[in-house]
Amino acid sequence: MLTKLPNRACRALLTAGLLCATIGAASAADFPDKPIRLVIPYPPGGASSLHGGVIATSAEPYFGQPMIPLIRHGGGGIAGASYVLQQPADGYTLLFGDVTINLLRPLVEKDIPFKIDDFEPIGRITLDPMVFVASPKAPFKTMKEMVAFATKNPDKLVYSSDNVNGWTYVAFKALMHKTGTKMRGIDFGGGGPAVANVLGGNTMAYAGAPAVVGEHVKGGALIALCTAGKARASTLPDVPTCTETGYDVMWQVWLGVLAKKGTPEPVLAKLRDGFGKLVTDKGLKALIARITSEIKYVGADAWKKELDEEKKSLMAIYALTQ
């Protein structure tokens, strides 16, 4: 009896092991059977973390599993994007990417440790114009005054920036190119720290997504100068477009969800389906509206086409930053 016991234990272990193996094999069909992580590649408080937090909060009913926002910032989004690529391609770790880390930077920078095609689009969530804002303490209240100030005082206008080829970086570089001015940007690594510094009066100006600056504009803590879209932003209808103010700066940025390339097709399909339904959720829409933003969802197929077309326009914008 005693001698048989280890044998039996072995058999039990073997059975358990086989069971686990079958569970592993069935995982694509059962997806998701554990929480999904949404990696936010920028510091807390920026557009990525604000939207990511809200989306993760509302996601559970559409996936049957909780979604956990995971902030991994550093290197202007590279740390977070690389982290996703280091995880297995099983759909449990998604990147909450954006126009710079998933498109512009791998397009124009040589040292980015990944390629655009290393990610598989799931769905675009937002598309917002950059909003130029000024601190109430700054010596200008309108776009004209800001440019006049910068012309008169080269290198004296200090603005909050994010990182090389980031949203704000591109916005101001383009403005400087169009106006022939020189301003000084401080790279704070993301919208959260950047907006904190313009709010604290440490810098004079900033350009960010409506979600980051909207509440402060409404509360009077920041002055909105213009929005860099084709038409006025529906979330900030009182703010003129940059073209209206006489400066033809166009810079719209998107946030979207991407998976690692190589994720099984059935898993991708489930994720695309889940996000497609999630963006119609009333609770989510209300929350997104509350952070002065709105959903502009585009499904994977249409988005892929858009991404291809966008490369050209991005190169045109990039040329302005040189």
Partner 1 sequence: MLADLAHGIAGFFSVVSVGTALLGLLAGIVIGALPGLTATMTIAVLTPFTFFMETAVALPFLLGVYKGAIYGGSIPAILINTPGTAAAAATTMDGHALAKQGRARHALEMSLYGSVIGDMLATLVLIAVTAPLAAIAIKFSSPEFTILFLFALTMIASVSGGSILKGLIAAAAGALIGCIGLDPMSGYQRFTFGIPDMSGGIALVPVLIGMFAISEVLIQSEKKVLRAVSAVTDGRGTPLPWAEMKRAMPAILRSSAIGTFLGALPGLGAEIACWVAYGDAKRRSKAPALYGKGSLEGVAAAETGNNATVPATLIPMLVFGIPGDTVTAILLGAFMAQGLLPGPLLFQQHGDVIYGLFGLLLLTNLLLLVFGLGAIRFIRHVVLIPHSILLPCVTVFCFAGAFAVSQSLFDVLVMLLGGFAGYAMRKTAVPIPPFVIALLLASPLENALRQSLLFSADGAWIFVTRPIAAGLLALFALSIGLVAWRALAGRHRKSSIVATT
Residues lying near partner 1 in the complex (CB under 8 A) are found at 35, 44-45, 49-50, 53-54, 56-60, 66-72, 74-79, 82-83, 85-86, 111-113, 155-156, 158, 163-164, 184-189, 192-193, 195-197, 199-203, 215-216, 219, 221, 283, 287, 290-291
Gyration radius (Cα) of the chain, Å: 23
Rounded least distance, CB 35 to partner 1, Å: 7
Nearer to partner 1, 66 or 139 (CB): 66
Q: Find the shortest distance in angstroms from Cβ 256 to partner 1.
A: 19
Long-range interactions of 63-68: CB distance < 8 A, separation 24+: 63/32, 63/36, 63/270, 63/274, 64/32, 65/32, 65/33, 65/34, 65/35, 65/36, 66/35, 66/36, 67/35, 67/36, 67/37, 67/38, 68/35, 68/36, 68/37, 68/38
Helix, strand, coil shares, percent, the chain, to 5: 50, 20, 35
Residue with smaller CB distance to partner 1, 233 or 288:
288
CA distance 229 to 279: 23
**In the bound complex, what is the minimum distance in angstroms from residue 40's beta carbon to partner 1?**
8
- CB 217, min distance to partner 1, A: 11
What pairs with residue 188 in β-bridges? Answer: none
Cβ of residue 219: shortest distance to partner 1, in angstroms? 4
Contact predicate 255/48, CB 8 Å: yes
**Closer to partner 1 by Cβ: residue 201 or 246:** 201
- Whichever of 49 and 245 has its CB closer to partner 1, that residue is 49
Return the number of the residue (103 or 242) whose C-beta is nearest partner 1. 103
